[in-house]
């Protein structure tokens, strides 16, 4: 039992550092030697837990990255009564966290999706799975909002979800090279205006 716990702790530490390195430098610009140096591990110790650098990345995506996206963008809107309020608050909190991150290199999920697109179908598939879970959670919240009288049934929940996701990917990219505080404020103002145009209840 104790050995298993130590192994899990080691794997988690490796994944945390690996995600940090891949986020900062990119997967293809981060060598195995970079990983070993940052982790202070031998090649033998690394290969004891992972078959390859690709296997290491897949484990990061499936476990660590999924949990990060889930806790930031999915869990905050699950089961809430008003989809507009919950999504707005979720976006605001996520962007505020990014604004105060001195090592902001953009939206980590978006970065990896761009990097692996056309270069590694397997990893891209796992990243797209995370995106689909996020999309389903948004659509579910909006559909519930229709039933609860927050927006009319003729509105396209899938289209709204796609817009929210695309705009979030975009603003996170702009925040890297721009004024993050101003961009966050402008984005949230426009998002509120967008939601007001669909809302059946005065909640803004």
pLDDT digits (tens, 9 = 90+) for 35-92: 999 999 999 999 999 999 999 999 999 999 999 999 999 999 999 999 999 999 999 9
pLDDT digits (tens, 9 = 90+) for 100-122: 998 899 999 999 999 999 999 99
Q: Are 161 and 138 in contact (CB under 8 A)?
A: yes
1 pLDDT above the threshold of 60: no
Residue 2: the pLDDT is 54
pLDDT digits (tens, 9 = 90+) for 129-151: 999 999 999 999 999 999 999 99
Kindly list the structural domains of the chain, giving each domain's residue range(s) and its CATH number in brackets, ordered by start: 52-196 (1.10.357.10)
At a CB cut-off of 8 Å and minimum separation 6, what does 137 contact?
Answer: 73, 74, 77, 78
pLDDT digits (tens, 9 = 90+) for 186-199: 999 999 999 999 99
Q: What is the Cα 31 distance to its own chain's centre?
A: 24
């Amino acid at each position: 039992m104790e050995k298993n716990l130590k192994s899990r702790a080691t794997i988690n530490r490796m994944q945390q550092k690996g995600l940090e390195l891949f986020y900062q430098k990119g997967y293809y610009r981060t060598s195995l030697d970079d990983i070993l140096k940052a982790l202070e591990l031998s090649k033998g110790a690394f290969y004891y837990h992972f078959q390859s650098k690709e296997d290491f990345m897949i484990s990061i995506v499936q476990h660590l990255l999924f949990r990060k996206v889930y806790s930031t963008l999915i869990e905050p809107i699950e089961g809430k009564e008003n989809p507009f309020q919950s999504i707005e608050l979720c976006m605001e909190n996520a962007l505020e966290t990014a604004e105060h991150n001195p090592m902001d290199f953009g939206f980590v999920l978006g970065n990896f999706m761009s990097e692996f697109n056309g270069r590694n179908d397997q990893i891209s598939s796992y990243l797209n799975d995370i995106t689909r879970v996020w999309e389903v959670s948004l659509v579910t919240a909006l559909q519930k909002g229709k039933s609860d009288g927050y927006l009319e049934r003729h509105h396209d929940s899938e289209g709204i979800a796609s817009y929210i996701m695309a705009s979030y990917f975009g603003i996170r990219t702009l925040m890297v090279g721009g004024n993050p505080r101003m961009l966050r404020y402008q984005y949230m103002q426009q998002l509120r205006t967008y939601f007001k145009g669909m809302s059946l209840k005065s909640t803004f």
